[in-house]
Amino acid sequence: MSLAVCQWHHKDMARQLGWNANIPPNGLANRPTVALEDNNNPLGLDTPVPDITIETTPEHYNLVAGDPSCAGWTRRPDDPNVVALRDRLREHNGIPNLETVTPDQVDRAVELFYRDGFVVVTNALSAEQLANLQGATTRVIDEILDADPEAAAGGGAGGLPHRYSFGSTSASRHRLHDPAWTAVIDLPTTTPILTAIYGSADYIVGGGGGDLALPGAIEYQGLHSDNIWTEPHDPIDGLTMKQLPVSVVTINFPMVDLTWENGPIRQIPGTQRSREPIPSVGDEPLWMKHSTVCPAPAGSAIFRDNRCWHSGTPNLSNEVRSMPNIEYFAPWFRSEIITRSMPYERWVELSDHGKRIARYVTCDPGEPVLGAGFTHPRAAAREAFVESQLAQMEPARAAIARLRR
């Protein structure tokens, strides 16, 4: 495989994409040499900021150690360690006999979701919807690489290089200002399944983002739950989120076919209610490394219980693996992570059901979405942009905007 093969064609130009041998495994951050005993993160949004600087979300600060298994590797497709990993994945990667369903199989989709903590629904997007999302994600990737041409900053869970979060790289923290994202909030292929999962149509939209892995993302993310909450205060029975009904469902939409090679998401079936400790990358059994959601075609919808153990995997191909998403909260669940990230102009374009479930993320008429339209992988740059917006507002309006952010 030649490095020259991996080119990104857009803006009437081509650029080399990924496989940057100048970026060492786990990136340029001075990561701890010893990982935590496990990847549990009961503090969720209250997790203390680590001593090192990595571009990650607060609920994933516990993943700062990265992936020690690839220490000493070179981020090249012909590195002997990468070649050996590719050979192993070709032989073993993918959940055996992965069952997928079609949008009309609502009952089976719900059954698999509750059994495994996730379910793959094929043909969820029309050809037009898929093309619109592919175009939107391509534009975002261009913006990210304009700011970080070395693909060194990274992001997402654990802040690994060659990986980014669509939500976190937006100064608004979400992508609900983009019509390609809002267009998939309420679909005839997904809404009936969501309604059946929650047993109600009164769930709400919590946000929209997703993630991407560039070619040469050789590291495994540590297994984790997406704890976008703090555990309930229950001094009597010690109730935890694991014991409650599903609180957050995220739907990921793969923009390319997920294969053994291009970094498919991995899911550990049945762990959404597990109270066992989540192992660190170095302590995982090998079958967990191979428990990936592939093959799965582009345009599918992967419904995920946020508590189910999951992570990103190495992208050893020459294509970007991107998966935009929409997050939905149970009717009874709220989180401080929810923000007004959808312009009123986008909201009025939604269906009646879409308007109702998006009411908590929608701005008032004339109210700007702070940070919308500015993409950067560095948190400092995003915050500086938002501060410049706030500085141009009247003090009273800026104070309200800060509280709503």
Separation CA 352–CA 333 (nearest Å): 21
Q: What is the pLDDT of residues 336-386, one digit of tens each?
A: 889 999 999 999 999 999 999 999 999 999 999 999 999 999 999 999 999
For residue 2, the model assigns a pLDDT of 35
Indicate whether 358 belongs to any domain: no
Provide the 10 A C-beta neighbour count for residue 55. Answer: 27
Cis peptide before 297 (omega within 30 of 0): no
> Of 28-32, 68-72, 250-254, which range is least confident?
28-32
Radius of gyration over every alpha carbon of the chain, rounded to an integer in angstroms? 20
Secondary structure class of 332 (helix, strand, coil): coil
Indicate whether 364 belongs to any domain: no
Separation CA 149–CA 232 (nearest Å): 42
Q: State yes or no: pLDDT of 172 exceeds 80.
A: yes
Q: State yes or no: pLDDT of 16 exceeds 80.
A: no
Indicate whether 153 belongs to any domain: yes
Indicate whether 278 belongs to any domain: yes
Q: Are 304 and 117 in contact (CB under 8 A)?
A: yes
Indicate whether 341 belongs to any domain: no
Query: Which residues constitute the domain of residue 234?
Result: 3-333
Structure tokens at 298: 């582009």
Indicate whether 61 belongs to any domain: yes
Q: What is the CATH number of the domain that holds 222?
A: 2.60.120.620
Q: Are 217 and 154 in contact (CB under 8 A)?
A: no
Separation CA 292–CA 268 (nearest Å): 8
Indicate whether 263 belongs to any domain: yes
For residue 5, the model assigns a pLDDT of 42
Indicate whether 296 belongs to any domain: yes
Residue 300's Cβ-count burial label (10 Å; 0-12, 13-18, 19+) is buried
Structure tokens at 207: 């946000």
Separation CA 70–CA 15 (nearest Å): 26
Q: State yes or no: pLDDT of 298 exceeds 80.
A: yes
For residue 65, the model assigns a pLDDT of 86
What's the structural domain count of the chain?
A: 1
Summarize the confidence of residues 234-238 as an average pLDDT.
89
